[in-house]
Amino acid sequence: MSSANASSAKVFKPRFNPAKPAFGALVFLLYLFLLAPLLIVFVVSFASNQYLSFPPEGITLKWYEMLPQESTFMEGMKVSLIVAVIVTLIVLALGVPAALALDRFEFKAKAAVQSFFLSPLLIPSIVLALGMVLLFGPLELNNTYAGIIIGHVAITIPFVIRTTLMSLATTDTSCEAAARILGADSWTVFRRVTLPIIQPGVIAGGVIAFIVSFDEAVISLFVAESGLPTLPVQVLRYVENSADAAVAALSVILILISLAVVVVVERVMGLRKALR
Amino acid sequence: MTEPKLSIVDLTKRYAADLDPAVDRLNMEVEEGHLVALLGPSGCGKTTTLRMVAGLMDPTAGSIVVDGKEITHTPVNKRGMGMVFQSYALFPHMNVEQNVAFGLEMRQVSKAEQKARVAAALDMVQLGHLGKRQTKELSGGQQQRIALARALVVEPTLLLLDEPLSNLDAKLRETMRTEIRSIQQRTRATTLFVTHDQDEALDMADRIAVMNGGLIEQFGSPTEVYERPRTHFVANFIGQANFLAARVGAETGRANLAGESYYKVDVDGLGRFGAIGSAGLSGSSHELVIRPHRLNVSLHPGAAQAPLAGTIERVSYTGDALAVAVRVGDQQLHAQMLTSSGDLPRIGDAAYLSWAADDAYLLPAAAQPGRLAA
């Protein structure tokens, strides 16, 4: 019996399949195509070429050394970080309760509210930006932190609501009922049961909101170009005026920062779980 | 009689004004230490009733009284109850001990006492060694026990079980039945148990409330609801039953110890038989209920008195018994025979049915036309 099994197992051993390496090569090429711009930026940032160009003529670190002296970048970085942090906090404080309400309550205008919250995803940001400039003028919000933050909250809130709703959809509402029966009031139920359960969606939404806000150029450009330029605005301006590779060096730093955020979140709680 | 632990008075729940009520003026009293099963098909209002007692749902009308105190509008978290959900509802981000300790924490019990009581509760469900485990790592049966420990550790005023066994496989369900019942008896926790499984209810409960369409059709001990169903629905829902429309003749003058009378009844087209029922049924139409295993089946005529002759239409072999369907006139009657190595009935064979008057019970509610079914 056992020998018969062993021999039949041999017969069914998978043979070499030429489709496999071909598929692998295809995937590799696709990734290469997607990542090529990043790789080029990376290479250029170390190139000694006088102007932004490819291929490199030599290797240098002078662009990286230039960055700390480039006050516009440092200023922009500060503005962008402040904006992104505040936007993330506000958007979580608004988006999580909104998602809870949308998931747990039945009300008449539910569909309307849902599309209202998700609509900024569908409207071209240039249209939003134009509208905001016109609206913020009389309110004296142009060129202020408040103006940029309001704009960024509007475009990032859909992400937080989406990711939180996804987490909520998979939670068992009996857990909350169980906690209430065991004596917890509504706030305790939220803090001790609901929030920990939906935490992956909340964190994913927060990370996305942070990155989107940090990266946002259009609204920032319209609302606060002259008075409070964010980092993306400074980069645009810099590229307009000079053609050296300092921007490439800055880009590499930004990529590393994003990567660091992703790695930290992944280490702390598993981003893959968070983005599921 | 001592004061009931739980009284439900005219409890009503209407989900919408234009719908029939999900629970309709329900009344029930539960004695301290009893396990009461709310038994019925889906949509009968049993879960709604449980959720109103728990406080998870507001009643439209009526009141709920526990220990003589009205709690109809007391918030959920102030009722001091324990509940086990069908999905177990363990907190996924807490380990076993933290889950069990949650209710004690909410009651601001000291850390030392929490530890001792959690350990005792886990020992009670025989999972003392799993305290540090994550709940995800546990099997369905183990999760169920943790949920039970979490509900009981707070010494709840009432223990509420919402279909706690329906997510378990058949074998485990039987084990957990026995275990939940023995824990309930040891802790003397007054328990409401929602189930659609009549075997569970018969096996575990001190009292069964058979529910249908938002009403309690019958409230009684397992023996009462099985042996003395008050309505067609109860007889049909609990166990199998044969129903025969009968015209009740005069009382024979004999009565059993419970004060029930023996009657002679005319069954349409089949003849005249003995039956038992509550006093005073003479002269009207009632349904006769006979359980399949109380019907004697013989393959030879003359074995019993006044046998009904019929033809075997279906035979199903279940190992220790044979279930047979016998066509008698325009009715099909279900019966059970013990299997033996002797002659086994075949489809088409003649069969002779008889029963003892004690085993033919007249439903007290008058027979309703068109409600005959087996």
pLDDT score for A14: 64
What value does the mean pLDDT of chain A take?
A: 83
A182–B91 C-beta distance less than 8 A: no
The answer for A250, left when phi > 0, alpha when psi is -120 to 50, beta otherwise, is alpha
B103–A183 C-beta distance less than 8 A: yes
Residues A82, A229: Cα–Cα separation, whole Å: 12
Contact at 8 Å (CB) between B159 and B152? yes
* Assigned fold of B296-354: OB fold (Dihydrolipoamide Acetyltransferase, E2P) (2.40.50)
* Residue of higher predicted confidence among A14 and B255: B255
> Does residue B82 sit at the A interface (CB-CB below 8 Å)?
yes
Q: Residue A257 corresponds to which amino acid?
A: I
- Residue of chain A nearest B81, judged by CA positions: A181
- A39-77 as b/e: b if 16+ CB within 10 A: eebebbbbbebeebeeeeeeeeeebbeeeeebeebeebb
A183–B80 C-beta distance less than 8 A: yes
CB-closest option in A172, A182, A185 to B102: A182
What value does the mean pLDDT of chain B take?
A: 87
pLDDT confidence bin for B368, thresholds 50/70/90: low
> Does residue A177 sit at the B interface (CB-CB below 8 Å)?
yes
The beta strand positions in chain B, using DSSP E, are 6-13, 23-30, 35-39, 61-66, 69-70, 82-84, 159-162, 191-195, 207-212, 215-220, 242-255, 261-267, 271-277, 285-290, 296-298, 308-317, 321-328, 331-338, 350-354, 361-366
B77–A180 C-beta distance less than 8 A: yes
SS3 at position B13: strand
Q: Where are the domains of chain B?
A: 6-233, 240-291+355-374, 296-354
Instruction: Using DSSP bridges, classify how beta strands B191-195 and B159-162 pair: parallel, antiparallel or unpaired.
Output: parallel
Q: Between 1.10.10.60, 1.10.420.10, 3.40.50.720, 1.10.3720.10, what CATH number should domain A72-274 receive?
A: 1.10.3720.10
Q: Residue B8 corresponds to which amino acid?
A: I
pLDDT beyond 80 at B268: no
> Does residue B58 sit at the A interface (CB-CB below 8 Å)?
no
Contact at 8 Å (CB) between B47 and B194? yes
Give CATH for domain B240-291+355-374. 2.40.50
Tell me the CA end-to-end span of chain A in Å, nearest whole number: 46
pTM of structure: 0.79
A179–B80 C-beta distance less than 8 A: no
> Does residue B103 sit at the A interface (CB-CB below 8 Å)?
yes
Q: Where are the domains of chain A?
A: 17-60, 72-274
Can you tell me the mean pLDDT for A242-253?
A: 83
> Does residue A188 sit at the B interface (CB-CB below 8 Å)?
yes
SS3 at position B242: strand
Question: What token pair was written down for B69?
Answer: 């105190």
Can you tell me the mean pLDDT for B174-182?
A: 90
CB-closest option in B85, B93, B107 to A178: B85
A181–B79 C-beta distance less than 8 A: yes
- Residue of chain B nearest A194, judged by CA positions: B91
Distances (CA, A) of A201 to A19, A266, B32, B94, B203: 38, 13, 45, 18, 44
CB-closest option in A183, A188, A196 to B93: A196
pLDDT tens-digit readout, A21-73: 888 899 999 988 888 888 888 888 887 777 777 777 888 888 888 888 888 88
Q: How long, in residues, is chain B? A: 374
Burial level of A155, CB count in 10 A (0-12/13-18/19+)?
buried
CB-closest option in B76, B91, B107 to A181: B76
pLDDT confidence bin for B158, thresholds 50/70/90: very high
pLDDT tens-digit readout, A200-234: 888 888 888 988 888 888 888 888 878 888 888 88
Q: To 5 degrees, how large is the angle CA B174–CA B338–CA B239? A: 45
A184 contacts in B (CB within 8 Å)? Answer: 77, 102, 106
Residues B297, B292: Cα–Cα separation, whole Å: 10
* Assigned fold of B6-233: Rossmann fold (3.40.50)
> Does residue B154 sit at the A interface (CB-CB below 8 Å)?
yes
> Does residue A181 sit at the B interface (CB-CB below 8 Å)?
yes
CB-closest option in B77, B87, B92 to A185: B77
B76–A175 C-beta distance less than 8 A: no
pLDDT beyond 60 at B369: no
Contact at 8 Å (CB) between A182 and A193? no
- DSSP, res A111: H
Answer whether the bond into residue A55 is a cis peptide, omega within 30°: yes
A182–B103 C-beta distance less than 8 A: yes
| Torsion sign (Cα): A38, A43, A44, A46 | positive
Query: Looking at CA atoms only, how far is residue A171 from chain B in angstroms?
Result: 10
pLDDT score for B304: 54
pLDDT tens-digit readout, B55-87: 999 999 999 999 989 999 999 999 999 999 998
Contact at 8 Å (CB) between B36 and B30? yes
CB-closest option in A174, A184, A192 to B77: A184
pLDDT tens-digit readout, A162-185: 889 888 888 888 899 999 999 999
- Residue of chain B nearest A175, judged by CA positions: B89
Closest CA to B205 of B22, B13, B34: B34
Question: What token pair was written down for B233?
Answer: 């629905």
Contact at 8 Å (CB) between B99 and B146? yes
B77–A181 C-beta distance less than 8 A: yes
Residues B76, B160: Cα–Cα separation, whole Å: 13
Does B6-233 match B240-291+355-374 in CATH topology?
no
Can you tell me the mean pLDDT for A113-142?
A: 85
Closest CA to B53 of B104, B20, B6: B6
> Does residue A184 sit at the B interface (CB-CB below 8 Å)?
yes
